[in-house]
Structure 1
């Protein structure tokens, strides 16, 4: 049985600027900003929420089924997924656009300037949930707005339990739209900032939100996470990272562990403990899909 992951598949372009943005931006000229940064260090990573979560789940021994869209330039990404043993049967290839691309310039103070081109992600709603495929569990992660809404409705109608992970897509929705998605979901997972924004737009707190679901998980970065079930909060301590190299994709690694645990029938606290381990492992590696968990450590959870 597969775990469906609705979300983005993207290419991350990371550029490193050796100076400080602040030294090149004049506040009095901000209304006609035109700057250029020399970035001698560059790397290209496979990314996107669906791709990253699928990678994490596969590393743990799960069977991910990404539901996503790529453009005419996405062939090498599909080849990589297949080499990892991840099905691409439901990754649509759209010839009239590019794969989603995220370009990030980071200065020496870890400030970032980011430009995101959604590309094929904007048409992900044209790729429906394959309800004729054996699916035990699913996640609706950041994607095109219409895709997130349609896939949530399709999963609910098919009786497939799913995690709603609004992530960076959260600002796209108003309170009424978010409530509709919460009503369809089985679980919700967000980071601390997203939890504040989500509750603000819904008009109630985390305890009240958790009472509408089987559970709410709030990741807190280096401080671990919170697990809310039926209005009660349980704090799950962090796992110390061997090194802090690159935070990109840590949240997706955590979500892959969440899906793995839920499929095993674990409670949310146990899932969160594994998620904290996988997030700590990922942050010690550069890129969102370049880490391998220790099977013996995983078995200990």
Structure 2
């Protein structure tokens, strides 16, 4: 196993409309396209790593409902191992309705946490975690901290997809090897845009990689002694940015597994994320490694395999 993730699988209902309707305004907003896809930050990161060619596995819990079954089938379609994905037969699975406006690309989320139980500490299989090269988490809650301790004790590097600022993440920074955060997380810590300088401060706390993803402004940070200043690929036709950061994390892990130079890892991960954004949802537009390499070499996206995935998700055939 190359990467194991501790995460919270979600089922996403993705809807593209011209304009998100306002309350009490009787205007019919027609659905332009829709897609059922698996979601969740760690889950989508693992799917991206797997599509690119890494061996990935999920540790988590889903409900015994149709959404839970859909999450499992989605993982399997993307080649993610589900042997440690537990099913709470009496519980229901998290799901999210995501509305995206075509003109502004703004998104609106409506979420249901479901009633499934939480992952138990004893379900963190040390043998399963220790066989991996990387552990992917998205927060430093009790379960993730225990998983990180297991990983570090067995020489497994810990990667975090830090989204919204949480003090407990920084309180446990010594357990993190690869710290990649969103702009929102960064703004919870710092008031200026000295990304490189502040990432060096974070790096001094323990991580060998400290990086901030900045959407259409690219990503900046440090990878050991290398400064990362990767611009975004802005020449693409953006359809949906949902899951872009999650996919970036999976692609970044894939790049580290290949032993590439830091600048190329950041460029490759940015390209994978950009290509994903040309299709609806976090999963359908994930390219394989060859498609990404061709894009980096020519600037052209080959949609042959991508649109097969789009059609599967559109029809719900997974």
Hey, what does 2:153 align to over in structure 1?
A: 157
Match of 2:200 among 197, 203, 207: 207
- How far apart are residue 90 of structure 1 and its match? 1.1
Gap change, CA 1:121 and 1:238, over 3 Å in 2? farther
Tell me if structure 1 keeps the 8 A contact 2:91–2:117.
no
Alpha-carbon distance change, 114 to 207 in structure 1, aligned in 2, over 3 angstroms: same
Name 1:46's counterpart in structure 2: 38
Q: Per the alignment, do residues 227 and 83 of structure 1 end up closer, same or farther by CA in structure 2, a change over 3 Å counting?
A: same
* Offset of residue 111 of structure 1: 4.3
Note closer, same or farther for the CA distance 1:125–1:152 as it changes in structure 2 (3 Å cut). farther
Question: For residues 233 and 100 of structure 2, what CA distance do their matches in structure 1 show?
Answer: 26
Aligned length: 282
Partners of 1:5 and 1:249 in 2: how far apart? 16
Distance of 2:135 and 2:288 partners within structure 1: 22
User: Structure 2: 5+ residue runs without aligned partners?
Assistant: 192-196, 298-318
Secondary structure in structure 2 of the residue aligned to 1:243: coil
The whole-number CA distance in structure 1 between the counterparts of 2:190 and 2:169 is 10
Provide the residue aligned with 2:188 in structure 1.
197
Aligned with 2:124 (options 120, 124, 129): 129
1:290 aligns with 2:284: yes
1:56 aligns with 2:19: no
1:176-195 to structure 2, matched below 5 A, reads 177-195=168-186
Aligned to 2:135: 138
Q: Following TM superposition, by how much is the alpha carbon of 1:130 offset from its aligned partner in structure 2, in angstroms?
A: 2.4
| TM-score (normalised: structure 1) | 0.81
Can you give the 5+ residue segments of structure 1 that lack an aligned partner in the other structure?
26-34
Asked if residue 72 in structure 1 is aligned to residue 64 in structure 2, the reply is: yes
CA deviation string 1:59-110 (max 9, x = no partner): 2111011122111121232123223332111111112321111123345654
**CA deviation string 1:108-155 (max 9, x = no partner):** 65444422223367603446432213111111125x943333322332
Q: Which residue of 1 aligns with 2:77?
A: 83
CA contact (8 A) 1:246 1:285 kept: yes
Measured on the aligned residues, the alpha-carbon RMSD in Å equals: 3.0
Structure 2 residue 46 is the aligned partner of structure 1 residue 24: no
Deviation of residue 163 (structure 1)? 0.8
1:259 is the counterpart of 2:250: no
- TM-score if structure 2 supplies the norm length? 0.77
Match of 1:31 in 2: none
CA distance in 2, matches of 1:20, 1:269: 38
User: Match of 2:276, SS?
Assistant: helix
SS at match of 1:183: helix
Larger deviation: 104-113 or 270-279? 104-113
SS in 2 for 1:96: coil
In 2: Cα distance, 1:50 partner to 1:296 partner = 23
2:301 corresponds to: none
